[in-house]
Each structure stands twice: as structure tokens, then as C-alpha cells.
Structure 1
């Protein structure tokens, strides 16, 4: 399958200046029809006929040229019947009917252009906001330069309301960035020092100080502009089918017109048949439907490279997809911390996160993020030495800390560390060893988590008509099996090289129309081998984006299912529009052959048919009204805001089991601090969110779903969450009170570094607290997943 990387320029001479010619033709045709009518009313029939003849000729000449150009390029022009109708009206003296046909034909062309402009508005918006300048900070001040002059390393200033000109990182301060043009997400995001910022986003807060990391030509926005330029509507297979309809319609029209003339002896009937048969529904409605469908996808953050891609997308029956970065997040997160030695898990993570603040490694970023999410106060490391490919050493507080591979930390890993590494390998996790003062203190396990919307996307794709889902990955079979089962894939192929992926795609393509989804450079060959290649390009345009037919610019996998549904609906609407227009035309042609329609009335009837077919095609711009219940307006915005709160609360919820595991190993000071942090999380963040859900969101959801009490189960979960949070708070208060009261004598229970549980009578309370925290974590995971699956999706429209 050949994939065009750029839109083909339209080389047809008849279409180079079509917008200006069409506008002029409509004006002249309307003036000619009106002028001739005025002359007829004034009793000047000869003048009226002359004006109408001139009107027909003015429109006939460019129309004939368009048909000739199409025939020269070996393309059958559906305009042929319109040209024959104009010639026929001149031949039989039906000049008024000819003028009406001329006006309607040129008006149809103008309507096509207007519909195309409306449908392509969302695609062109990507290019209209392309940044063109940047403010570079120099030693003497700020200079404004062209965006192409910005080089990596340049220090830039982005003023409030301006578009970020290039990809870079925030230098200092906090930036409030609107990423909706890139990600489709409506809410601005806060970015701190060191955070990446993408070109094409907009600064909505104070001035942003940033440093360029890539030239404008290689930035995120430049990649999207290239995609938008290549997304011009082309003749899809279904559109060529419309041309075949026209090829059938022309001989049928000529035969019917000839029979009407032969049987009645009246040449006017033949002209009436030609006038009614003008195939505007085919030459306008079908392309408009496909361009409208592409526009609908663009509004959802999906760039489709042409009508052929949209047509194939709508016919896909088999979904093939990569694992890493496609159904998983594509970045590691801390899954577990093991520390059987003298240092607690929390302290091991804190020390490692403190040191990794100075490391550029991708795993270091994940450890730092986990440390901050756990509420730890990170120290500033000193004397950090990075050993590429191995790890880092440095001083954190009073300790010498080493973070990296096992070989960097210890020459002889103990049995528990060997077992941990083996377990991590089976589970598809990465291991980071942490040494403190020359001894192995713990191991941090990291994994690439499955996307929250992966399983839902698979279900939505099945609902949209995909029969089979297959995962292809270079990862190990054990890991692939776990992920495939988790998301509900029908089959998986593990340990596949890029060449192996291509071979799998070819085998599946031989059986049915295939859809391949990936995000990495190694996925590009497989994307090109599939009937439709889909790239996840939310992190910027890569080789996979260039090789793909469809690019999802939003970091939301479920947009894939949406796009398939849009494509299927677009194909249905295009078929409906073509068959509706042709059916009505055949009925009108039969009436004209029987003498029921004179050419003038036939011309008016045909234009009514055209408008009906085009309006039906424009339905592809809007959502499917047959979908399930949806939330709109303020209610939809409320859901999106509460969904953002889910994301904000997720690190705190994920840290609950780790806290429960560590309770029995904490000394009095640390336990008091962590309990206060836990209480603050519950009372200031979690419970207010649940109350807002119950008070604001659930009534709107109930109205949308109908029924007696559709949110009863979820409301019951809110009750359980509130009760558990109250129990945890009571236990925390009791433990804190007894810690502050102190023991009757100075014993090991209250000494720094000595676990409270080892020498006090708080063992029962700590066990109850641990159990309650585990229960709260379990119900929160279930509750949030249920809300996202059942309620939040109602607003994703």
C-alpha cells in the first residue's frame, strides 16, 4: 500500500482558479437570469432570449473545459450530463430553462466550495495558529526574531497569550499552559522548572522563561502542520465508486432521453430528461461527506490523511496494536519498594529520589516523581557523579547514596535481591538498586502501567465493528500475556522484531481489512504494511506518524474507537447521499420522459434533489444522534474537571498500600508526620472530591441515564469511602494522641530510629489502621475505575 506523505497539488487547469471563477459564474448566471426575466416582463422577448443564451454560453464554456480536462486525464467527469443538458436547451430553444440550469450548476459548485471550507476549517486551524516569531533573551535584553532563527539552547521569553514558538523546557517559575490545540484537553496545565513545553501551546498565565531544545522545523507543532497539509481530501475508493455510478447514469440517461424523443416525437422531452439527470448528488455529496468525516475526526484530535484512509478505517475488521506506549503509558512508574534492611522503604525511596534529582535518566525521573507524590521532603544532593548506563553516586544529607544497577551497588547481591530481580523479570518490571553508606539498602521496582482507557477502547472498538484484536510486541511472552488478558485482546504475538511485526500484519491483512496502531519508530514498517496505519503522535511527530494514514494527536487511546465509529458513519452517509440523489433523479427523469416535467420545472426539481443530497452528506459533520445518553454544556465541563481531579488524586491513592506496609517499621517522629499527611489527604483532598461528585455530578448523570436511581451503586461506594476515611482518621488521631502523651518511662519504643510497634502497646491500633488503609485503597481503585467507565465517558463528546 502506498502512503502519500504530502498532499498532491491539484494540477487540473480547470480547477486552478475555480474559487474565483465559480463566484464570478454564479454572479453572472444570476444577473443573466434576472436580466432576461426583466426584459421578458418589459415585452422584449428577443432581448430576453439573447440574455439567457449568453448566460448559458458563459457557464457552458468553463463546464465543457472541466469535462475535457477530466477526459484528458482519463477520468470520467460527472459534469458531462450537465454539459449535455446546457447544449440541449440551446438546441431546442429552451433558453429560460438553460439559464436556470446554468445558475443551479454554478450555484452547486459554489455550495460545494462552501461546504468544503466549513468541513476543512478544523484542519486549517492547525496551520493558522502556527508561531512565526520568538522573543530571544540576550545579554543586553530581548530581541524579536523569526521562529526559524531559534536554535537549541536559546533562552526565550513567551509573553502572556502568545503561542510557544518551539519545543523546550521551562527555565524557572511556574507556567500555565493551554495545550488544547495539541492535546485537545480543555483545561490548562501547570508546568514547573525543568518540565517540557511544546510548540503550538499557549501561555495563559504570566510570562514564561524557557530554553529551546529543538529547532522549529523539528518541533511538535511543525509535525502537526505537516500532517494537516497532507490531510487534503482525495478520491477515496468509495468516491471512485460514485464516478462509476455516474458512468452508469450517463448511458441510462441518453437511452431514456432517446426513447422519450423517439416515442413522443418531442425533442423537448429529451432535453427535460437531460436537465433532470444532472448528477450533482454524485459530484458533490459523496466528497462532501468524506471531507466532513475528516473534519469531525480533526475536531477530536485525529488527523486523517485523505478520504481513502477514512474509507479504509471505516472498513477495518482486525485491530493490530503495539504494547509499549500504545496500550501502556510508555513511561515507567514506581510499583514497589523493597527494603528488608535497617532502612524503611520510605527512607530508601526518599534517599533515591533525592539523589536522582540530579540524574537525566528516564527511570530517575520516575523515582523523583514517586518521592514527591509520597509527600517526602527531598534533600538537595551534592557531589553527584553520573556513570552512564550504570547509575549515579552522591551525598544526600549524612549518607553516601548509590542508585542504579546491582553491579554498581554491591558485588554480591543477597538472596532476597536475586529473588526480587527474578520476580521483576517475570512481571516485566525494571529494578533499581539503592545503596546507602556502602551497603545494599533496598530495591525499587518500576513498571509501565496499562493505560486507564485501554480496556474500554477495546470494548468500544468491538461495538464499532472490529471483530478481532491482536497485540504485537517485542516484549517477553509472560509480560505480553498479562497485558493482553488485562485489556481483553483476542491474541498476542510476543518477542517480535520490526520485521516480525510486518510479517504478522501481512498475514492478518490477507484475511481481512486491518488497522495497525503504534507509536514508536520501530512500528513504522508495520503501520505501512497494514491497510490503515494509526500513529499515537501526542508526544510529537515521529517516523511512525509520517508512515501512518491516521495520527491521533491527543494522548487518549479511546479516540481510536471514536475515529472508527466516525469513519463507519461517514461511509454510510456517503452511500445514502449517492443512492438518495440517484434514486430521486431516476424518478424525476421518468416523469420528464413521460412529459410530466418541462425543462424549466425539471431544472428546479433537480436542484431540490441536489440540496437534499448535500444536506444529508453534511450530517457527517455532526455527532451520531443515535448514540447513548450524553452530558453536554456545564455538566460535561463538570465531568472533565472532576476527571482531572481523579488524575491529581491518583498518586496519593497509589501511595496508600506502601504507607500501610511501612507503618510497623516507623519510629514515633516519622509515624506522626505520615499520619498527619494521611489525614490531610483524606480531609482536604479525597473527601471534598467525593462530596462534589455526589452533590454536583451524580444528579446530572441520573437525569441523562433515566430510570429510578441509576447511580445508587456508586453512591453506596461513596458511603463506604466516607466511613473508611472516618475510621482511618479516628485511628490516626488515637495513635497520634498516645504518641504525644509519651510512655511512662523512656523505652525503645520512643527512641529515634526504633519502630514504634517493636516496643509499645500500639500494635493492635497499627494493625487496624493498616487493614483500613488497604480496604480504602481497594475500594477507591474500584470506585474510580467504575466512574471513568460508566459516567465520565458520558461527557467525552
Structure 2
């Protein structure tokens, strides 16, 4: 049964109603003595299901797909031909019910994703002069001050402009408890205010906010291939051949066509083979609840099979933004004063490094002064006056040009730093600000969990310098480092790793997109990562938490294990029942009822994947 074969929801309901209604009406007619009428009703109720199934089989065969649906069609057709309409009706009910359950399970899985779409705010209360004005979120611009009332969904990403705010982040992170964010802390769109109102200063337009990006990912996933995966189809050809041989052999051996019919009926595993999709879809649903968007059952299976992990560094193992790690102050200068002068000057710059310095100075409660006489050399550095002192900040080459000959001072080496910023005051090297991209707090734990989950080799693939990445490799005990990589070089790393086993690539930037696309399963850090990487990936972490990757792998392993258990147990029980039917111990109607019991048992087993 191919993945793409799924009747629409209304068709499933109609087929189920026809089969169930016909069975019920036939039973009533039989009880009042109308056996002929009952058999006619049972046969008539089977036809819509049989015809629908035949159309699907023909469509599948044209694509070269052959599944176990053929056995269901043969058993219904043979039951009608051999005068066993009740057995045919029971098989039709079993098949239609299975289709209904599959569609219902998939709708439930998609509900976990589409529930996000209903949380998009449409308007917001904006401070306008001395009052408030309701505005459409499309008109909100960075810097606008908004009032967020209790129970409202934050329309844009922003910083808290009140003393504090209590936020429910469960829609994005899955965390059950609200979090308290203090003044100047960042709050993401899509979260909910749960206590007193507060003011929010917009950081970016609604279309560029975190929640809008998540909504786009959800819509893209809905447009992608259906998440239903039929593991049973991998065994379809041999099972179909075995069924036909056993059925035909029983007929030839005994001369009784009813024996052949009984084998076909018992072999009809239509709801049985839905057990695998139920387990896979349940896994996708659980992952979605945790903020992990899986774009299909194939992706979940690939995640479970992965044996090699190729990890990007910036934004994946690290937070993806620079932070002040250390300050080296030259003789005659204090560390805090070096930072204060540099941060004061950098207020005139929009560079990301400048933001890191300003944040670090504010965290230390340093008083920043207004700079004057500012001159910026793009990409190199900045000069100006702070409190009457000539200050320059920038890279080593830029700073060297600002230092007088008598102001030159030997400075130490800072291994493992992402960047260093020299600070020159009045022509003398005053100090060096050391920046680094900090490792995620949960990175070490996640690496350990990946190994326990069956990842045999972990490779760090980064565009950064080897000197920056090497300390991180040692700290996390990774197996291999590939540094100074171009996007094409990352692709080569993924392709080479396939010699060891299926490869999982994890990244967040545009430069990771080609590698995500060629990996057996690509995982994008979608909460803050580039849209291109999310589009190329099979799985998107919608929350900015690396530990959810380990959770997703655990879900994938369990769902696939339960799916395989259900398929193998179901087919095994069916084979045993088929042998009994071939030996004459089961009549067609008994076989249909027995197969129903088998199907229910394996589907109930598959539903275990819904539990944590």
C-alpha cells in the first residue's frame, strides 16, 4: 500500500457507514427470517468498499507499487463469487474501519501542528502619545511600545519594558510552568501573558518574529508528503506470494474453493498494516508536542536509523551570538574602565560585537557616556571621544594604527576565543576584550544522550577556525573535527560519513542547507536559524533547545520499535491462522472474525507509542 493512497476523510466515513450499515441491516433481516434479503444486503454493502479499493490498487500498480490491499480485494471478490456475502461484508467493514482509523490518527498528528496556527495574534495595543491605539500587527515596527494584557498572545518578539513579566512559553517550548522575564529581557512571539499586564518594546516586525517563522514551518510541513509510513509494505510482495500459493494450494489439494477463500480472508491484514502508521504518526504527534516538527514518517524512521551525527558549531552546539568572556587590562588601566569606555563608544555602532559589549557593560551596572566625534571604518573599527578621552576599538590591525609608538604594549594570546577587540585610549593599548560564542548549557548532556541512543560517531563540522573549535571538541569528547569548511566542504563531510552508516546532519545557517539536504536526515535549529536551513531539513527544532534533539531520537527509536513489533506480530499471527484455514479448521466467516481480533490486538500495541 503506497503512502500516497489515502481516501479523503469524507470518503472514509461514507465507506465505513456503508459497510457497517449493510452489516447491521443484513443481521436484522436474517433474524426475521429474510436470509435471501440479508445476503443481498451484505453483498450490496461490500461493493462500494471493493470498488474504491480497486481504483486505488489500479492507481498504485500504474506507479509500480504493490501492497497488501490486493489481498483484501481478492478476499472480498472471492467471497462474493463463492456465495459468502457475510464474510465479504465483514472484510469490507474491517478494511473501511482501518482506513477511518488511519485518517483519524493522521488528523490527530496534524492537530498538534495546526494548533499553533490558531495562536497567531491579529492586533495589538500600541502606546500612541498619551493613549493606546489598537493596530494590526503588520503595522508594528521595531521600537514600538505595546501593552500586553493578561491572557494575550505576544504578537512580536520584543524586550520587556516593565519591571517583570510572567510568560507561558508552553506553546513554543513545551515547558508546563510559566517563566518570569525581568526588564530588558527578551520575550518571543507566540507566548502568552499569564499575570499582570506589561509593556513590550518590539524588536522586529511580526513577519520576522520567531512565531511567524514557526507558523511558516508548520504550513510547509502540512504541504509536504503525508506522514503515514507503511512498514508492512516492505514485506508485501513475499506475503502476497505466500498467500496466493497457500490459497491456491489448498484449493488444488482439496478441490474446495471455500478453503482458498478462508485463507484469503484470514490473510486480509488491512487494519493490521495500519498499526505501523499509527505508531509512526503517534511518534510525530509526540514530537510536535515537544516543539520538534517532523516532516514525515520517513524522516522519523531515518532519525531512528542514524549512526553518525555531523554537527554544526555556531548556533547548534553554541548559542550563536558573541558574549564577553574575559578582559585583559594593560598596566595602569582597570578592566571595568576598559569595558566602559569601549561600550560607550560602541553605542554608535550597529555591529553585533558592539551589542555584546554594551550588554556586558550593562550587566555590570557600568555608566555609559555619550560618545562624540565618531568615525567608523566599516568592518575594522571605530574611533571617537568618550568623556574627553580619545578611544578606539577594533581588530588588531586597526588598533595598531591607532597606537602611538610609546603606547605599544605586548598582549597575551587568547586560545579558543571567537574574537578579540583591542581598546586604545589616548594612543595607548588599554586592554583587550575577549569574546566567545558560549557552549549551550545542555550540550554535554545531549552528546552523552546521543551516544546512548546509538550514535556511534559524532563529527563537528564548522566554518570557524580550528583553533576556535578545538577546545570545544575536547570538552565534549567528540570523535572528529572538520574546520574552515565551505558549504560544499560540509556536503563532502556528510557524504564521506555515509561509509560508516546513516548520517544525521544538524545545523542552523544558510551555509548548512546543502549538507542538511544530502544527509539521510537533516535537522535544523529552526527557532532562530535561517529559513533556508529549515526548508532543506527533514526535522525542525522549533524551540531553541538542543536537548529536544535527543528527545526526538528517543521518540523515533520507540515508535519504530513498536511499529516493527506490530507488523511482525500481526503478519506472524496471520500466517498461523492461514495455515489453520488451509487445513480446514476455519471457515471464511470465522477467519474474518479471527483476523479482526488479530488486527485489534496489534493496533492496540501500536497505540503504546502515544505514551511517554
Q: Does the aligned pair in 2 maintain the 1:404–1:433 contact within 8 Å?
A: yes
Correspondence list, 1:597-676, <5 A: 597-623=586-612
CA shift digits 1:180-202 (9 cap, x unpaired): 32233444445566655433222
1:250 aligns with 2:240: yes
SS at match of 1:326: helix
1:225 aligns with 2:190: no
Q: 1:177 to 1:352 in 2, by over 3 A?
A: farther
Note the C-alpha offset of 1:484. 0.9
1:213 aligns with 2:204: yes
CA RMSD of superposed structures (Å): 3.2
1:465 aligns with 2:454: yes
State how far apart, in whole Å, the 2-side matches of 1:615 and 1:384 are: 75
1:291 aligns with 2:281: yes
Structure 2 counterpart of 1:572, from 532, 555, 561: 561
Note the C-alpha offset of 1:77. 4.1
State how far apart, in whole Å, the 2-side matches of 1:25 and 1:252 are: 29
State how far apart, in whole Å, the 2-side matches of 1:241 and 1:33 are: 31
Q: Tell me the equivalent position of 2:296.
A: 306
Correspondence list, 1:720-759, <5 A: none
Q: 1:349 to 1:137 in 2, by over 3 A?
A: closer
CA shift digits 1:247-303 (9 cap, x unpaired): 222232222222222222322222211111112255412222222222222222221
Structure 1 counterpart of 2:485, from 488, 496, 500: 496
Tell me the matched-pair count.
604
State how far apart, in whole Å, the 1-side matches of 2:176 and 2:30 are: 59
Note the C-alpha offset of 1:325. 2.0
State how far apart, in whole Å, the 2-side matches of 1:145 and 1:509 are: 52
1:531 aligns with 2:520: yes
State how far apart, in whole Å, the 1-side matches of 2:539 and 2:334 are: 49
Higher strand fraction: Structure 1 or Structure 2? 2
CA shift digits 1:94-119 (9 cap, x unpaired): 22222222222222222222222333
CA shift digits 1:211-262 (9 cap, x unpaired): 362352x4322322232234358478x9465324222222322222222222
Note the C-alpha offset of 1:93. 1.9
Note the C-alpha offset of 1:585. 0.7
Q: 1:368 to 1:414 in 2, by over 3 A?
A: farther
Q: Does the aligned pair in 2 maintain the 1:312–1:532 contact within 8 Å?
A: yes
1:346 aligns with 2:336: yes
Q: Tell me the equivalent position of 1:179.
A: 169
SS at match of 2:309: strand
Q: Tell me the equivalent position of 2:585.
A: 596
1:260 aligns with 2:250: yes
State how far apart, in whole Å, the 2-side matches of 1:524 and 1:486 are: 27
Q: 1:621 to 1:413 in 2, by over 3 A?
A: farther
Q: Does the aligned pair in 2 maintain the 1:168–1:214 contact within 8 Å?
A: no
1:391 aligns with 2:391: no
Q: Does the aligned pair in 2 maintain the 1:120–1:291 contact within 8 Å?
A: no
CA shift digits 1:299-336 (9 cap, x unpaired): 22221221222222221111111222222222222222
State how far apart, in whole Å, the 2-side matches of 1:129 and 1:404 are: 44
Q: 1:504 to 1:377 in 2, by over 3 A?
A: closer
Q: Does the aligned pair in 2 maintain the 1:322–1:517 contact within 8 Å?
A: yes
Q: Tell me the equivalent position of 2:115.
A: 125
State how far apart, in whole Å, the 2-side matches of 1:247 and 1:539 are: 45
1:35 aligns with 2:19: no
Note the C-alpha offset of 1:355. 5.3
State how far apart, in whole Å, the 2-side matches of 1:348 and 1:221 are: 39
Q: Tell me the equivalent position of 1:269.
A: 259
Q: Tell me the equivalent position of 1:361.
A: 351
Q: 1:380 to 1:194 in 2, by over 3 A?
A: farther
**TM-score in terms of structure 2 length:** 0.89
**TM-score in terms of structure 1 length:** 0.69
Q: 1:476 to 1:417 in 2, by over 3 A?
A: farther
Q: 1:193 to 1:263 in 2, by over 3 A?
A: same
State how far apart, in whole Å, the 2-side matches of 1:116 and 1:471 are: 36
Q: 1:377 to 1:473 in 2, by over 3 A?
A: closer
Q: Which moved more, 1:19-28 or 1:353-362?
A: 353-362
- Structure 1: which 5+ runs fail to align? 1-9, 624-797
Q: Does the aligned pair in 1 maintain the 2:272–2:598 contact within 8 Å?
A: no
Structure 2 counterpart of 1:519, from 503, 508, 517: 508
CA shift digits 1:155-179 (9 cap, x unpaired): 6544332222344555666544333
Q: 1:326 to 1:339 in 2, by over 3 A?
A: same
Higher helix fraction: Structure 1 or Structure 2? 1
State how far apart, in whole Å, the 2-side matches of 1:336 and 1:153 are: 31
Note the C-alpha offset of 1:617. 2.1
Q: 1:235 to 1:254 in 2, by over 3 A?
A: farther
Note the C-alpha offset of 1:360. 3.7
Q: Tell me the equivalent position of 1:411.
A: 403
Q: 1:602 to 1:386 in 2, by over 3 A?
A: farther
State how far apart, in whole Å, the 1-side matches of 2:230 and 2:389 are: 73
Note the C-alpha offset of 1:469. 1.2
SS at match of 2:432: strand
1:336 aligns with 2:346: no
State how far apart, in whole Å, the 1-side matches of 2:486 and 2:466 are: 13
CA shift digits 1:562-595 (9 cap, x unpaired): 3223223322222221111111111111111112
Note the C-alpha offset of 1:392. 5.7
Note the C-alpha offset of 1:540. 4.8
Q: Does the aligned pair in 2 maintain the 1:81–1:250 contact within 8 Å?
A: yes
Query: Relative contact order, CA 8 A, sep 6+: which one is greater?
Result: 2
Q: Does the aligned pair in 1 maintain the 2:522–2:539 contact within 8 Å?
A: yes
State how far apart, in whole Å, the 2-side matches of 1:27 and 1:604 are: 19
Q: Tell me the equivalent position of 1:478.
A: 467
State how far apart, in whole Å, the 1-side matches of 2:383 and 2:184 are: 19
CA shift digits 1:144-164 (9 cap, x unpaired): 565456566766544332222
CA shift digits 1:592-635 (9 cap, x unpaired): 11121112221111111111222222223333xxxxxxxxxxxx
Note the C-alpha offset of 1:143. 5.5
Q: Does the aligned pair in 1 maintain the 2:231–2:564 contact within 8 Å?
A: no
State how far apart, in whole Å, the 1-side matches of 2:442 and 2:71 are: 51
State how far apart, in whole Å, the 1-side matches of 2:54 and 2:488 are: 51
SS at match of 1:231: helix
State how far apart, in whole Å, the 1-side matches of 2:490 and 2:203 are: 36
